[in-house]
Amino acid sequence: MPELPEVEVVRGGLTPAVTGARVCRVRVLDSRSLRRHPGPSEDFVERLTGATLAHASRRGKYLWLPVTDASEALVVHLGMSGQLLLRDPNADVAKLTRIVLDVEQPAYGPVRIDFVDQRIFGSMAIDELVPTNDRPDERVPASVAHIARDPLDAHFDDRAFLDRLARRDTTIKRALLDQTLVSGIGNIYADEALWAARVHYDQPTRVLGRARARTLLGEVCAVLTRALAEGGTSFDAQYVNVNGASGYFSHSLNAYGQQGLPCPRCGTPIVREVFMNRGSHFCPRCQRIRL
């Protein structure tokens, strides 16, 4: 599943093409990709056609494009395999394309935006914009308002996060994946940050300690920043940027997907254990539970 770095790469690539662009035509090729839209396909097409798009915004794994008077936005969730691809208007439409937007960008002319989704877990929808709880002058889609800020957000409050984390009676990886506490981290980057901070994924938060929690938060930011610089993590063709290129952070992974290989720090084989219907990867020597 695309996580924060992958979605941010898509947002950054999309912004020049969509900012100030007018939507000339909307084609819904598969209405299943509109399951989060509050209305039929015809409503989606009617409300979006003729609208002018603003710059792409993101919170966690959600993308949105404010439209026309900025009272509502086109919200995109990439799900497991969703892609937003910029195409020449005359290019062939790929088989797994679900929604097509033809736009006219003042600086670049006509551009086509294809929403491609192999597994159809992603979606597009039009949603109203509402003020955020912590900054009333900032507006986000109503469907995104419950999502916490991510650690790379300029308004992320480190102290408030550490305070909330200390009050949670859970384990640390569960906390990192809780989108109401902190967003955008996901399984890959949680494993990488925990490895870097030498914290076991099942470490109880009540005895983690503020100093170790602060160190872990620093490693989360460092891992996300490195992944973003390398274009995200691609294991197959399902995640690509807006030009169809893959990220290469997969070559920099120390823990995730490295089971059986020596820990880069101590040489002990990396272990994978089942966790929340997925896997957790860690070094049993470097990352021990402390009680």
pLDDT in tens, 42-89: 999 999 999 999 999 999 888 999 998 779 999 999 888 888 999 999
Residues 211 and 278 in one domain: yes
pLDDT tens for 229-253 read 876 654 344 444 455 554 445 567 8
pLDDT digits (tens, 9 = 90+) for 150-197: 999 999 999 999 999 999 999 999 999 999 999 989 898 999 999 999
Q: Are residues 178 and 244 in the same domain?
A: yes
Radius of gyration over every alpha carbon of the chain, rounded to an integer in angstroms: 20
Same domain, 8 and 138: yes
* CATH number for position 81: 3.20.190.10
Q: How far apart are CA 193 and CA 146, in angstroms?
A: 24
Which of 91, 111, 144 corresponds to the end of one domain?
A: 144
Residues 6+ apart with CB under 8 A from 107: 16, 20
Residue 289 lies in a domain: no
Q: What is the mean pLDDT of residues 198-211?
A: 96
What is the pLDDT at residue 234? Answer: 42
User: Which residue is listed with tokens 């896997």?
Assistant: 279
Domain hosting residue 166, numbered range: 158-282
- Cβ neighbors of 211 (< 8 A, separation 6 or more) are none
Q: Is 24 exposed, middle or buried (0-12, 13-18, 19+ CB in 10 A)?
A: middle
Q: Which residues contact 64 (CB under 8 A, 6 or more apart)?
A: 56, 57, 58, 73, 74, 75, 76, 127, 140, 141, 144
Active-site residues, by number, are: 2-3, 61, 278
